[in-house]
Amino acid sequence: MQNALLIGLSRQMTLERQMDVIANNVANANTNGFKADHSLFEEYLNSNAHEDNFVGSDRRVSYVQDRGTYRDVGQGPMEATNNPLDMAISGNAFFAVQVNGAERYTRDGKFALSSTGQLITSDGNLVLGTSGPIVFQPTDHDINVAPDGTVTVLEGTAKTDSIRGKIRMVTFDDPAKLTKLGANLYGAGSANQQADAKSTLQQGYIEKSNVNSVGEMSRMVEVMRSYTAIANLLQQQSDLHKSAIEKLADVPA
């Protein structure tokens, strides 16, 4: 009889975590370049239940556990900002940025310039080009970024473009292997990165979060209802238990 309680509990714990994942998606509904997470569950069979010692009909107890959170790597909507340093990638690629000496990846293209003219993220981390950071001269103006990431400017009184570098875009065989590190950054871990040839870059646009709010809200209701349904089930189990004890222990005088 305890099994129902434990099975219910295992489901409730996974639902609670699914709710946490939904809450994080909703909280990041306005985060540039954010990719939504979704929960996966799996059955966990209790292999060594004591009941197996009985001959015959006992079955193994099946619990639920988290298998993982998978990432929706789909494209987020593009928002026009008219800011020449805002860039959005259409495709699967990521921007490469340098954080504390290590290479990290991001889809958040809200870039700025440092006081020394380097292209940086909102956090002040260097945005990497195909050959190191992208540095602008003090007299540069009319910054133009081509769809392949080539950055050109007009320098001073010059009438022809000068190249300031090429934004590095990288892809991964399995983007799900990337770890979210917070601050809109991903770590590669063991995943292999390669230069991307298919994605295009759009200047003056920002990729918004790909969180589907309607989907998140309906999932939230679903989680909440399942959770309360299990709570009711546990309540009934407990009542059953209670009445059984009361009835059985009620020794007639």
Partner 1 sequence: MQALHTAATGMAAQELNVQVISNNIANLRTTGFKKQTAAFQDLIYEHIRRVGAQASDQGTILPVGVDIGGGVKTVGTPRSMTQGTLSQTGNDLDLAISGEGFFKILMPDGTFQYTRDGTFQMDNQGRVVTAGGNPVQPTITIPNNASGITVNEQGQVSVTLPGSSSNTVLGQIGVTRFINKAGLQPVGSNQFIETTSSGTPQDGIANSEGYGKITQGSLEQANVDVVSEMSDLIAAQRAYEMNAKVISAADQMMQSTTALFR
Site for partner 1 in 20-49 (CB under 8 A): 20-24, 26-32, 34, 37, 39-40
SS3 for 172?
Answer: strand
| CA-atom Rg of the chain in angstroms | 27
Out of 3, 46, 91, 117, which residue is the one contacting partner 1 (CB under 8 A)?
A: 117
Out of 138, 160, 248, 249, which residue is the one contacting partner 1 (CB under 8 A)?
A: 138
Out of 152, 171, 184, 203, which residue is the one contacting partner 1 (CB under 8 A)?
A: 184
Which CB sits closer to partner 1, 106 or 171? 106
DSSP 235: H
CB atoms < 10 A from the CB of 248, how many? 8
Out of 228, 240, 243, 244, which residue is the one contacting partner 1 (CB under 8 A)?
A: 228
- Hey, which residues between 161 and 180 contact partner 1 (CB under 8 A)? 174, 176-177, 179-180
Out of 64, 76, 107, 140, which residue is the one contacting partner 1 (CB under 8 A)?
A: 140
Which CB sits closer to partner 1, 27 or 195? 27
State in angstroms the smallest separation of the CB of 51 from partner 1. Answer: 25
Report the DSSP beta bridge partners of residue 193.
172
Site pattern 93..112 for partner 1 (x: CB under 8 A): ---------------x-x-x
Q: Residue count at the site for partner 1 (CB under 8 A)?
A: 74
Q: Within 13 Å and on the Cβ side, how many CA atoms surround 40?
A: 7
Under the binding rule (CB under 8 A), the answer on residue 77 touching partner 1 is no
State in angstroms the smallest separation of the CB of 193 from partner 1. Answer: 15
Strand positions, DSSP E, the chain = 37-46, 61-71, 78-80, 87-90, 94-99, 102-106, 111-113, 119-121, 126-129, 132-133, 140-145, 150-155, 161-166, 169-172, 179-182, 185-187, 193-195, 200-203, 205-207
- Hey, which residues between 194 and 223 contact partner 1 (CB under 8 A)? 213, 216-217, 220-221, 223
On whether the CB atoms of residues 92 and 176 are closer than 8 A, the answer is no
Under the binding rule (CB under 8 A), the answer on residue 6 touching partner 1 is no
Out of 3, 46, 75, 83, which residue is the one contacting partner 1 (CB under 8 A)?
A: 83
User: Residue 128: CB partners within 8 Å, gap ≥ 6?
Assistant: 95, 96, 97, 98, 103, 168
